[in-house]
Amino acid sequence: MGRLAGKSVIITGAGSGIGRAASLLFTQEGARLIAVDRTDGVHETVEQVRKAGGTAEAVTADAGSEDDVKAFIAKAIASYGKLDAIWANAGVSGGLVPLADQTVEHWQDILRINLIGPFLAIKYATPHLIKQGHGAILCTASVAGLKSGASGHPYAASKAGVISLVQTTAYSLSGTGVRINAVCPGLIETGMTKPVFDGARARGTDHKIGQLNPLKRAGQPHELATMGLFLLSDEASYVHGQAFPVDGGLTASMPYAGKPI
C-alpha cells in the first residue's frame, strides 16, 4: 500500500518539472491523479504515469482561470468520486525586468497564475475537503518569497503572497480537519530555470551552479516531489500552515556567513 493509496489528487503545472515528477511519484504511491497544465506536456506526463502502471487523467487548463479551476476540481469528483488533496504548483517566472520597465500588465500576468491560481484552488477545493472532514492542500511558493535577490520583483512578491495565503488559510480551516502547507523551492533544474543551466553549460561554468548554498549543487524535481508526498500524506497529519524551503540550505544563513569581509 502506497502513502497515497486510493486518494484522489490534483496537481497543477503537471506538464513538466516538479509537477511531472510529483505526478509520477504520487501515482506510484497509489494516488488517482488529475494532472493539469495549460501545455500539451500534461498528456506526456499522463502517458508516462500509465506506462508505469499508475492511474491519471490529463486536463488542459489554465490554473489562473476561475472557470478552469472549477472544471478540473469537478473532473476529479466525477472521475474518482472524491477529492483528497490538491497541489497548486503551476507558476510562471516573468524574467528579470528592470523595475522602471515593469508594467501593470506584467505584474497582473504573474500574479494571476502564481497567486490568484493557488487562491482559486483553495477556494474551490476546500468545500469538498471540509465536507468529508479531512484533506490536504499544498502550494508551491519559492525561496524568492522568503528573501530578496532570488528573482524579479513580481515573481518574488507573488510567492511571498503564496506563503501569506497559506498561513492565513490555515487559520480559516481551523477545526475542519483540512491541512495546508507550502514548499519553497530553491534553484531546481526545471523548464523555468532552463536558461540558467543552458547558459552556464554553454560558458563552461556549470560547476558553479548551486554554489551559493551549503550543499553546493542545484536541486532536482524529484526532491521537491518527495517533500510534497510527505506533506500531502497522512504522515504529515500534524503539519499545518508552514512554508518549507527545499533549497540545499540556501536560506539557512545570511549571504556573508562564513566568508571573510
477529492: which residue's cell?
83
State pTM to two decimals.
0.93
**pLDDT tens digits, one per residue of 31-79:** 999 999 999 999 999 999 999 999 999 999 999 999 999 999 999 999 9
Which phi and psi angles does 179 have, rounded to 5°? -110, 155
Question: What value does the mean pLDDT of the chain take?
Answer: 92
Which member of 124, 155, 171, 238 is catalytic? 155
260 confidence band (pLDDT: 50, 70, 90): very low
**pLDDT tens digits, one per residue of 116-138:** 999 999 999 999 999 999 999 99
d(CA 76, CA 105): 32
Among 82, 46, 68, smallest CA distance to 116 is for: 68
Question: Residue 55, SS3?
Answer: strand
Q: What is the mean pLDDT of residues 207-213?
A: 75
If phi > 0 it is left, if psi is from -120 to 50 it is alpha, else beta; for residue 243 that is: beta
Who's near 66: CB < 8 A, 6+ residues apart? 120
d(CA 5, CA 81): 15
Q: Inter-axis angle of helices 17-28 and 221-232, to 10 degrees?
A: 50
User: For residues 213 and 77, which has the higher predicted lDDT (pLDDT)?
Assistant: 77
If phi > 0 it is left, if psi is from -120 to 50 it is alpha, else beta; for residue 80 that is: alpha
d(CA 228, CA 71): 23
Q: Is 155 a catalytic residue?
A: yes
d(CA 100, CA 105): 14
pLDDT given at position 261:
41
Strand partners, 32: 8, 55
d(CA 254, CA 256): 6
93-124 burial, b if ≥16 CB within 10 A, otherwise e? bbeeeeeeeeeeebbeebbbbbbbbbbbbbeb
Q: Inter-axis angle of helices 66-80 and 117-132, to 10 degrees?
A: 30
Domains of the chain and CATH, by start = 8-191+223-242 (3.40.50.720)
The answer to whether the CB of 75 falls within 8 A of the CB of 46 is no
